[in-house]
Amino acid sequence: DTGVSQDPRHKITKRGQNVTFRCDPISEHNRLYWYRQTLGQGPEFLTYFQNEAQLEKSRLLSDRFSAERPKGSFSTLEIQRTEQGDSAMYLCASSLKGALFFGSGTQLSVL
């Protein structure tokens, strides 16, 4: 399977803990995106990379969130000191130019 893969599929954590998610994009895609989706809502933009450069970060994203894409390949999204409001589906997508190809997401539950 050469699609976008995300790991883990599900994560349950306690409030205050740190969590890290991984995304492996389609290999030839140079753009990588992170979105967050809650029930009944559309995906909400978090951040975007072109190769290894983080070009845009949502103003809604608190300082507890950080994303990296070393060497322009896979990406990680870390949430520090998780809060119950962070519970959501975290989606990764990649593109070469144009439409996005999404992974299946990581469902985060903060207890």
Under the rule (CB under 8 A), what is the footprint of other proteins?
A: 31, 33, 35, 40-45, 48, 55-56, 91, 93, 95, 97-105
49 or 82, CB closer to other proteins? Answer: 49
Q: How far apart are CA 14 and CA 92, in angstroms?
A: 23
29 or 80, CB closer to other proteins? Answer: 29
Q: How far is the CB of 20 from other proteins (least distance, A)?
A: 20
Give yes or no for a contact between 46 and 34, defined as CB atoms under 8 angstroms apart.
Answer: yes
